[in-house]
Chain A
Amino acid sequence: MTVMNMVEALNSALKNEMQSDKTVLVLGEDVGVDGGVFRVTNNLLKQFGPERVFDTPLAESGIVGTSIGLSVNGFKPVAEIQFDGFVHPAFDQLISHASRIRNRSRGRFSCPLVVRSPYGGGIKALEHHSEAMETVYVHTPGLKVVIPSSPYNAKGLLISAIRDPDPVIFLEPKKVYRAIKEEVPEKSYTIPLGKANIVQEGSDLTIISFGSMIKTCKEALEQINYSIELIDLQTLYPLDTETIINSVQKTGRCVIVHEAPKTAGIGAEIIARINEKALLSLEAPVERVTGFDTIIPLGKREDDYLPNIKRIKKAVEKVMNF
């Protein structure tokens, strides 16, 4: 075991997979010599050479489109998109093709590719560097969507994503890239996609969250005197309905926390599933603590946008005192 931050854990996952599977390739802007702008691909070029780790021209549609072609031809590309807001030029390739090729070809072809990208706010970055767009991918049939919350689950989830037979969007909460350090095995291990993690068990209320918000929720829990069950979704599609429903049936109360805009955020889908499968267990309406239906502001106002301890506590009180 070594103590790693999320950047190092992701780097370690890539190394493990590239070592054990010669078809795994890493491509994107600045992933080679520079090691990625956040250094997730640091030293991979040195270790695996330019045929397996390469910088592409500055073109996201090109990166994802090329990854599709590579994956159809037997490779496992792990494409890096430099920031959240820059996946957008590649939308057509993701939504019209990567997500559909298995279906379109009736199973003759498939796209086992991973698109990695830093995700979410909290580092006071420039415009387009802080978005939380996960719902757009969740809403695209044919894409799996993974968002880790810690170094440990980041590594296990990334290895599973690379081994997955279908396209996976892997969003890395940049706010906690270096903010959390924990023991992470050097050797390979997996955490299954589609499974949530119960971070902490409890009986009064369920908090459901993911990504960097898990850290914020944990901090809020230190100031909350109820018995809270904290669920880290880890994968947003497919969603682990079973874990959610079991927990809500036990606690009867639920708060959902995500930084993406409120309207049609993943919280809405979770509430719908609770509604379908556990409505009668509820003691109170489910609350959402989310970003607003606005553009995430630049640094001076960013903290007003992102869910914080105060808002989480307030929502918990509201649900407990319904």
Chain B
Amino acid sequence: MQKTIAKFEVSYLQILDETGKIDSNLMPKLSNDDIKKLYELMVITRIADDKALKLQRQGRIGTYAESKGQEASQVGSAYALKKEDFVFPSFRELGMFVTRNFPLEQYYQYFGWDERGNKIPENQNIFPIAIPVGTQTIHAVGFALGIKLKKEKKTVITYFGDGATSEGDFHEAMNFAGVFQLPLVFLCQNNQYAISVPRSLQSHSETLAQKAIAYGFDGIQVDGNDIFAVYKATSEALEKARQGKGPTLIECLTYRMGNHTTADDASRYRTEKEVKEWQKKDPIDRLKKYMQAKKLWSESYEKEITKKAEELVNKAVEKAESLGIPPVEDMFKYMFKEMPPELKEQLEELKNE
């Protein structure tokens, strides 16, 4: 005997298309103020990102991973979070940080060679940036398991890229999350590249969303440049998690408009034509078109919010650059709660140089 015992489908969600039109049946509940807020957060993100790029070119910060083009994925998902929810990010999440009101100066400080920037303020539920690809996903699992054991109503979201879905840690995280039915959202920003390696070489799967199926939970692909779709999918996944109905994988189809980092030269592996095609799908332009039609946008509004964003960013940079060099003790101080004798001796040696 041979028969089909399981069949699966993967759905794709787009609400706001490239021309700025929405599918009103799918539109999530968002007030005009919410929509303006989403737009403003994306604008701040883009301006802050562009500033970081400039600072790097001037030698004022170090290697930097650009977020341009991914603002809707980052802002839309973070906007769906409640304050008590916990985030486990990787290194390309500026929009999430902006949305959560993270002190922007710390972001510049961190990419400006200073560990203190990665000290998340006490009142913010964000784990420090994880540079080793995919490793944070399994920490999110542990944190979510803790929430479940404590019977809290919080949820966890972890951010990662398409490349990360190849790492063993990612698969272990997905499996654990499924087995333990955790209040966790896996948010994949599929920006089409892991440095030079295109998505098609990263996995033979048609979608990344479908990876969830193998682990026994839902995966959905969304237009990651459509902030309404990202917001809706994330809100629903978080709500499901809060109700104890387990994890969700969200694959945001987006595009890294810039280089992988400031150390990269994307022209080595992709065409200008491809970049131009994606430019047409820009997440900010798209929302702007929608807002224009709804009379939520005007030239003066744009000027005003741009000016505000620039002021915010410039102030953050000024602050970051005023913070100086961390004290040399810091190198030793955070290794353990109690400094062991070896370290005390080594610190003395260094100070006496």
Interface on A for B, CB 8 Å cutoff?
29-30, 32-35, 37, 55, 57-62, 85-86, 88-89, 124-129, 262-263, 292-295, 297-302, 304-305, 310-311, 314
Contacts and interface: CB of A to CB of B under 8 A. Distances in A.
Given A29-B194, A300-B112, A301-B331, 11 more contacts: A30-B196, A58-B194, A62-B168, A128-B131, A262-B346, A293-B335, A293-B343, A294-B331, A298-B62, A299-B114, A314-B353
Contacts of B62: 124-126, 298-299
A89 B168 CA distance: 8
B163 interface: yes
Given A89-B169, A292-B346, A301 B330 contact: yes
A116 to B, nearest CB: 17
B326 interface: yes
A310 B335 CA distance: 26
Contact of B113 (A85, A295, A298): A298
B217 to A, nearest CB: 22
Nearest to B352: A314
Contacts of B168: 59, 61-62, 89
Given A58-B166, A58-B167, A58-B202, A88 B132 contact: yes
Nearest to A57: B166
A73 B74 CA distance: 45
Contacts of B203: 57
A302 B335 CA distance: 16
Contact of B331 (A30, A86, A297): A297
A296 B279 CA distance: 40
B242 to A, nearest CB: 32
Interface string B176-212: 0000000000000000001111000111000000000
B234 to A, nearest CB: 24
Interface in B60-119: 62-63, 91, 112-115
A311 B114 contact: no
B163 to A, nearest CB: 4
B269 interface: yes
Given A58-B202, A125-B62, A299-B113, A29 B195 contact: yes
Given A33-B269, A89-B169, A55 B131 contact: no
B257 interface: no
B131 A297 contact: no
A86 B132 CA distance: 7
A301 B132 contact: no
A126 B167 contact: no
Given A126-B131, A293-B342, A294-B343, A304 B114 contact: no
Nearest to A58: B163
Given A55-B201, A301-B325, A34 B63 contact: no
A35 B195 CA distance: 12
A34 B196 contact: yes
A206 to B, nearest CB: 22
Interface of B: 62-63, 91, 112-115, 131-134, 163-164, 166-169, 194-197, 201-203, 263-264, 268-269, 325-326, 328, 330-332, 335, 342-343, 346-347, 350, 353
A59 B202 CA distance: 10
Contacts of B195: 29-30, 34, 37
Contacts, number: 114
Contacts of B330: 297, 301
Contacts of A89: 132, 167-169
Contacts of A304: 328, 331, 350
B353 A310 contact: yes
A258 B346 CA distance: 15
Closest 3 CB pairs of A and B: A299-B113, A34-B196, A57-B166
Given A34-B195, A34-B196, A301-B326, A59 B166 contact: yes
Contacts of B326: 297, 300-301
Contact of A33 (B63, B196, B328, B335): B196
Nearest to B343: A293
Nearest to A296: B331
Contacts of B335: 293-295
B251 to A, nearest CB: 16
Contact of B342 (A129, A263, A310, A311): A263
Chain A CB within 10 Å, residue with most, of B203, B268, B331: B331
Contacts of B114: 298-300
B131 A127 contact: yes
A55 B347 CA distance: 43
12 contacts: A57-B166, A57-B197, A57-B203, A58-B164, A126-B131, A262-B342, A292-B331, A292-B350, A299-B113, A299-B114, A300-B112, A300-B326
A304 B330 CA distance: 12
A125 B63 contact: yes
A305 B133 contact: no
Contact of B197 (A30, A88, A263): A30
Contacts of A29: 194-195, 197
